[in-house]
């Protein structure tokens, strides 16, 4: 964990040539943020939308190619039905209210996760947002919604097994690169930097394959309190690290 104070992080400290190509964020702590203020859990999710908008704008301003936000996991279905319903409604509201602004900013929206189980309304809003921004060439905004890393890998392996069964693929031809092409993130770089708010130290079934060599940055602050300065701190600290990919230090 890095103890950098967000107030001390400025954009001018960043090295333009060493920005991460893909930042992925586990947006955690909404419920605890609300509880500490005597509010219902859904109030924390609502408050967290301010942080979402700020992070998306900052990544666009900096020229980060890909940002992925963990919005709803396959395990989140076990939460109270009222909270699940609110999270579904929140996604619909976000896509409806922000879609045109994102489109004008040249943001391309992608949604990673299973569509099965989502209501027709949620599926329709997802499809409209993805189609509306498909040709955009700026920031790729990935929303991991009804997403689980193990489920993603199971889906990819099942697709490959079906090809083997049909005789169109030999087991010997299955490579890490081929598996990557069957994931939701196909065609995108793996995350260079994974950020988690609220002081938790776990991946929570998020981008398990893609995070093999990601750098991690944690903050004790809850997601609704996450700011542009937090993101700048995370990127600054990422740039100070030496990425060896299993090799030895260059020093």
Rounded CA-CA distance 120/13 in Å is 46
Rounded CA-CA distance 238/126 in Å is 32
Q: Is 237 one of the annotated active-site residues of the chain?
A: no
- Which residue in the list 2, 30, 61, 76 is annotated as catalytic? 76
- Which residue in the list 2, 28, 61, 173 is annotated as catalytic? 28
Q: Is 225 one of the annotated active-site residues of the chain?
A: no
Assigned token pair, 213: 């060599």
Rounded CA-CA distance 25/142 in Å is 10
Contact, 53 vs 226, CB < 8 A? no
Q: Give all strands of the β-sheet with 66-73 in edge-to-edge order.
A: 108-112, 140-147, 66-73, 22-26, 193-196, 215-218
Residue 60: its H or E element: helix 41-62
Which residues carry out catalysis? 28, 76
């Amino acid at each position: 964990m890095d103890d950098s104070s967000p107030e001390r992080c400025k954009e001018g400290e960043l090295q333009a040539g060493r920005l991460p190509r893909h930042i992925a964020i586990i947006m955690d702590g909404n419920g605890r943020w609300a509880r500490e203020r005597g509010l219902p859990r859904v109030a924390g999710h609502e408050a967290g939308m301010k942080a979402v908008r700020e992070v998306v704008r900052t990544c666009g301003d900096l020229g980060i190619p890909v940002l992925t936000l963990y919005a709803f996991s396959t395990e989140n279905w076990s939460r109270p039905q009222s909270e699940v319903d609110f999270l579904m409604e929140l996604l619909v509201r976000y896509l409806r209210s922000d879609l045109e602004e994102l489109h004008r900013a040249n943001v391309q929206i992608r949604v990673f996760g299973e569509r099965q189980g989502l209501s027709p309304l949620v599926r329709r809003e997802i499809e409209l947002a993805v189609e509306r921004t498909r040709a955009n060439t700026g920031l790729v905004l990935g929303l991991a919604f009804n997403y689980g890393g193990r489920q993603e890998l199971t889906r990819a392996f099942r697709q490959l097994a079906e090809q083997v069964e049909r005789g169109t693929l030999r087991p010997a031809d299955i490579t890490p690169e081929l598996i990557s092409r069957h994931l939701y993130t196909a065609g995108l770089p793996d995350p260079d930097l994974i950020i988690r708010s609220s002081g938790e130290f776990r991946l929570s079934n998020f981008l398990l394959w893609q995070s093999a060599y990601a750098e991690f940055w944690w903050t004790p602050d809850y997601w609704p309190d996450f700011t542009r300065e937090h993101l700048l701190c995370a990127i600054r600290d990422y740039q100070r690290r030496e990425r060896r990919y299993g090799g030895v230090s260059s020093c």
